[in-house]
Each structure stands twice: as structure tokens, then as C-alpha cells.
């Protein structure tokens, strides 16, 4: 067993070994300063293990490895071979799916069934971008008979990627898929709350056959390793998913250092709109899924629920009954829908919002308390009669807290829906095609779902309007985040 490995156990895997070092140059190494930090199990509040902490020095070492790979072996790998490597990585993820899902549940607290779903999406995403690797094309542009002009779509170089804790493995795949497909090298930092699934994944990178230094995975804190990435002078691009506040910091650091390219996927306060003519049972299922999926810890959570006045009372009663059926508890129970929130800090933040909703006079329909006295569990909570100016209607809560308000007609709800600094997602529930199309066109959001929610696919671009982000992840659109155009003009004899 290597010096940085520990023995762990989950109810579905039994005992296994996890390497807790920094994965640089295809090897697990100790942090340069020998620091480690504890990883907490959100279900029990107990320490799972300690992992190595990357400092500025480690970021430097990882960047040097990524630079060397970019200029050396990785530049000689053909696009088709890059694609094959991603496909191999996806196959290995599939082979190790049970372990990856179990580590995700243990560390993040999401239910094992949802963790399996995440791993399935990881595999799909890697395959999708594996398919793109040899389809990155330039153009020839006819300007003048004495010249030959063409463009090339070239990789940006060394990419820093900083990911959050709500979908640790899935965000990892969303980030590395397009970056590697287009020929970049990567230094990726996981979130300090949830470093374990990426550590379980890292050995597969070597096993798949990626040259050393192409994909480096480091564990550490935002203010130390994250800040070192965003201000590094030899990182060409930084991609970040997380809070809008940290997104601003990263953009400033990029601007203040080497003007590295920046893409951001940030917060949201997405409106979920239910019209009188919606199929109410279906709508309630989607509203429930929209807010409580992943314990409300989704940047695109449908957290502002606007219900048309004709069905308002009926909707609230039925939604209460639906929310109370969500099984909250041990993530390793196959029946569980909602596990604990990820950390004490998040738990406290959410409970602070619940208190503010009560203080500001919103009606608690259900929930409003923690569940049990161990683990960061919060009951699915519904606030009704929420005014637009209340904090719980304005700010991202990132927890299982729904805020509901009544509206009269489409014009009013479009105004309410757009009354936010965010613009990540939105949804409309109606049987009327005109309403569906008119309202979705009018909503200022990067994704609009009609008669569904959280319908994310790796083929479909995802990203924010307004303060919800810059750039698009997923789909062909994400390739643009990781390529730059070169125009070549050749004078003919
Ligand atoms: P949350 O507030 O929900 O924990 P954050 O946006 O703070 O979400 O964290 C998302 C990711 O950003 C994590 O990997 C975290 O370490 C990183 N991060 C936090 N602060 C900074 C920072 N100042 N610079 C760079 N990365 C950061």
C-alpha cells in the first residue's frame, strides 16, 4: 500500500483502499508542505479520513507537469487517439461504477441511487466528448486568388479547473471532457468538502493511458490552491463552477494576473412557473424534483415557484403531501431520496434562510426544521405566500427550501421570473403551446424546461444569463471554452 493510501469502507463496497495524495504526473504524491485536512461524513458528522492539501507550491508543480505534457507528449497524440483515451476512461469508469458511486454517497451524502445516476452521466459525458475529439475543424476562407486563408481551432493550453461539492464527479467530467477532447492539459482542484470521488477516479487516468501530466487532480482549499490557480501566470484558462461571489474573485484574479481566459458556471434562483391549465399531478412531481433533487444543492434548483391563482390553494395542499413523501435519511438506503446537506456550514446557512423566511412572515407549509440530531439533515421545507422582496425569494439558498408565490397572468409572471440577478434556468408548466413558447422566449435564462425540470443532457448546452455565468458547458458549445482560433494567411507565388 502506498504511503498516501488509506483503508475505507461503505455498506455497498465493503473495504477498499483510497489514495489520498495529490495526483500529479500520473502519480499520487504528498503535498509539498506536508499538510493534510479532514474530510467529514455529512451523514454521521464523523471524520472519514484526511487527504493531502495542495498549497501554492503544489499548484506550481502541477502546472509545470501540465505545461510539459502540453508541449511534449500530448501535442503528439492525434485527435483520434485523444478520443480513444477518453472512451477508454469512460469504460474504466463504467467498470468501477459501483465504487465511484459509493465513494460519492459517503463523502457528499447524496443517495446511492442518485450517485449511480451521476456516475452514469459521467460515463455518457466522457463518451460524448471522446466522440468530438477528431471532429474539431477549421475553415478555409476564400478572400483573394493570390492568397490562401484558413483557420485552425487550437487548444488553449494549460487549463485550471475548479469544481464544487454538489456533483463532485459529474462536474469533474463536465470539465475534463471538453478540455481533453480539444487537446488541452488540466490542473483540476476538487472542492475541499468532497475530494474523495475524484481521488477514486484519478488512478483510471493512468490506467486509460493518458501521458503523465495531461490531467492532474489536486485537493485543497479555495483560498489557497483555488486562488493560486486563478492567479497563476502559466495557466492559460480557468474554468470554475461554484458561487457567484467566488466567480467574481476568480475573474478578478484572472484579470490581475495574465488575463487567462475565464468561463464561469455560477449560482441561480430559478423560477418554476405553474399555470392554471397544467397537468397538476405532473407539475407537482416536477416542482418537487426541481427543488428537492440533490437536497436542493443544485445551481439550477427551481427555488422560486410561481403558481397561477386559479390552482394556488389546491397546488399548495398537493405539493405539501408530495414533499412529505420524500424519504429523507441514510444515503445508503436504496429508498432514500434526500440525504444530509454537505456540511455544517451549508446546514447553518440554510437554517439561517429558514429563520429569515419565518421572521419575514412567510407561511411554513411543511418542514422548517432539522431532521434528527445527528447528520446535516433538513426536512423538505415549503414556504407559501412569499413576497418577491423577501430574502428567501431573492437569494440562492442551496437547500431543500421552496418559496411559493401566486401570480395572475403570463405578463406578471414573466416580470416576476426575470426579477433576479441570476439567469441560469427556468421552467413553465402548461398544456398551452402558445403560453409555453411565449413565456420561455421571454424568460432570461440559459435553459428553460417545459413540463419537466432538471432535464440535463451532455448533448445540450448549459449555462447562465446575467450573473449566472459566462460561457456554456456541455454540447458542442463547450468546445468553444477550450479552443482558440488561429487565422493563417498564405501569400501564393
Ligand atoms: P460554496 O460556497 O458553495 O462552498 P464555492 O463557490 O465557495 O462554493 O466553492 C466552489 C469551489 O471554489 C471550491 O472548489 C472552492 O475550493 C473554490 N473556491 C472557493 N474560494 C475560492 C477562491 N477565492 N479562489 C478560487 N477558488 C475558490
* 51, 164, 257, best to mutate for ligand 1 pocket (most atoms within 8 Å of CB): 164
Q: Kindly give the number of the ligand 1 atom that is closest to the alpha carbon of 253.
A: 24
DSSP letters spanning 157-221: -EEEEE--SSSHHHHHHHHHHHHHHTT-EEEEE--TT--HHHHHHHHHHHHHTPPTTSEEEE---
Give the mean model confidence (pLDDT) for residues 471-482. Answer: 98
Q: How far is CA 141 from the centre of its chain?
A: 38
437-469: per-residue pLDDT in tens?
999 999 999 999 999 999 999 999 999 999 999
249 ligand 1 Cβ < 6 A: yes
Q: What is the pLDDT of residue 206?
A: 98
Q: How high does pLDDT run on average in the chain?
A: 98
How many DSSP H helices and E strands does the chain contain?
15, 24
Confidence grade of residue 71 (pLDDT, cut at 50, 70, 90): very high
Whether residue 1 is predicted with pLDDT greater than 80 in this model: the reply is no
The secondary structure element, H or E, covering residue 5 is: strand 5-10
Q: Kindly give the number of the ligand 1 atom that is closest to the alpha carbon of 164.
A: 10
283 ligand 1 Cβ < 6 A: no
Whether residue 409 is predicted with pLDDT greater than 80 in this model: the reply is yes
Distance 165 CA to ligand 1 centre (A): 9
Q: Kindly give the number of the ligand 1 atom that is closest to the alpha carbon of 193.
A: 4
Whether residue 2 is predicted with pLDDT greater than 90 in this model: the reply is no
- Cell numbers at residue 161, please? 479547473
Specify the residue for cell string 475534463: 176
336-370: per-residue pLDDT in tens?
999 999 999 999 999 999 999 999 999 999 999 99
Catalytic pick among 53, 104, 265, 396: 265
pTM of the model: 0.98
Distance 229 CA to ligand 1 centre (A): 12
Confidence grade of residue 3 (pLDDT, cut at 50, 70, 90): confident
476 has catalytic annotation? no
Q: Tell me the pairing of strands 422-423 and 5-10.
A: unpaired
**Do the interacting molecules here have an ipTM over 0.90?**
yes
192 ligand 1 Cβ < 6 A: yes
Amino acid at each position: 500500500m502506498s504511503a498516501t493510501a488509506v483503508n475505507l469502507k461503505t455498506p455497498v463496497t465493503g473495504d477498499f483502499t483510497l489514495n489520498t495524495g495529490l495526483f500529479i504526473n500520473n502519480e499520487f504524491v504528498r503535498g509539498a508542505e506536508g499538510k493534510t485536512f479532514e474530510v467529514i461524513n455529512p451523514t454521521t458528522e464523523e471524520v472519514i479520513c484526511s487527504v493531502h492539501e495542495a498549497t501554492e507550491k503544489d499548484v506550481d508543480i502541477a502546472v509545470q507537469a501540465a505545461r510539459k505534457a502540453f508541449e511534449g507528449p500530448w501535442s503528439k497524440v492525434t485527435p483520434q487517439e485523444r478520443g480513444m483515451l477518453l472512451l477508454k476512461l469512460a469504460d474504466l469508469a463504467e467498470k468501477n461504477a459501483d465504487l465511484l458511486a459509493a465513494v460519492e454517497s459517503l463523502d457528499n451524502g447524496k443517495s446511492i441511487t442518485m450517485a449511480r445516476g451521476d456516475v452514469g452521466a459521467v460515463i455518457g459525458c466522457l463518451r460524448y466528448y471522446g466522440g468530438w475529439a477528431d471532429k474539431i475543424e477549421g475553415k478555409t476562407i476564400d478572400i483573394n486568388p493570390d492568397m490562401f486563408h484558413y483557420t485552425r481551432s487550437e487548444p488553449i493550453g494549460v487549463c485550471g479547473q475548479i469544481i464544487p461539492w454538489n456533483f463532485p464527479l459529474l462536474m469533474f467530467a463536465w470539465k475534463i471532457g471538453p478540455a481533453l477532447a480539444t487537446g488541452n492539459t488540466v490542473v483540476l482542484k476538487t472542492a475541499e468538502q468532497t475530494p474523495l470521488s475524484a481521488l477514486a477516479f484519478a488512478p483510471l487516468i493512468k490506467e486509460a493511458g493518458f501521458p503523465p501530466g495531461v490531467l492532474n487532480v489536486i485537493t485543497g482549499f479555495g483560498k489557497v490552491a483555488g486562488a493560486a490557480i486563478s492567479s497563476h501566470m502559466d495557466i492559460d484558462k480557468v474554468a470554475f463552477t461554484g458561487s457567484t461571489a467566488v466567480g467574481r474573485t476568480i475573474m478578478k484574479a484572472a484579470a490581475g494576473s495574465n488575463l487567462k481566459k475565464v468561463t464561469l458556471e455560477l449560482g441561480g434562483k430559478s423560477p418554476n412557473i405553474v399555470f392554471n391549465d397544467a397537468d397538476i399531478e405532473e407539475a407537482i412531481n416536477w416542482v418537487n424534483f426541481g427543488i428537492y433533487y440533490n437536497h436542493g444543492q443544485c445551481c439550477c434548483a427551481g427555488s422560486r415557484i410561481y403558481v397561477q391563482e386559479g390552482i394556488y390553494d389546491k397546488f399548495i395542499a398537493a405539493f405539501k403531501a408530495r414533499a412529505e413523501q420524500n424519504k429523507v435519511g441514510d444515503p445508503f438506503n436504496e429508498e432514500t431520496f434526500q440525504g444530509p446537506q454537505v456540511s455544517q456550514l451549508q446546514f447553518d446557512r440554510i437554517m439561517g434562510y429558514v429563520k429569515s423566511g419565518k421572521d419575514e412572515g412567510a407561511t411554513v407549509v411543511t418542514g422548517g426544521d432539522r431532521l434528527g440530531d445527528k447528520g446535516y439533515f433538513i426536512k423538505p421545507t415549503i414556504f407559501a405566500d412569499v413576497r418577491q422582496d423577501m430574502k428567501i425569494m431573492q437569494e440562492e439558498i442551496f437547500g431543500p427550501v421552496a418559496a411559493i408565490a401566486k401570480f395572475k397572468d403570463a405578463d406578471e409572471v414573466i416580470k416576476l421570473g426575470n426579477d433576479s440577478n441570476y439567469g441560469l434556468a427556468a421552467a413553465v408548466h402548461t398544456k398551452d403551446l402558445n403560453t409555453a413558447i411565449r413565456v420561455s422566449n421571454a424568460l432570461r435564462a440559459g435553459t428553460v424546461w417545459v413540463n419537466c425540470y432538471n432535464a440535463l443532457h451532455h448533448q445540450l448546452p448549459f449555462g447562465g444569463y446575467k450573473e449566472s455565468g459566462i460561457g456554456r458547458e456541455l454540447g458542442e458549445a463547450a468546445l468553444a471554452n477550450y479552443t482558440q482560433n488561429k487565422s493563417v494567411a498564405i501569400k501564393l507565388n
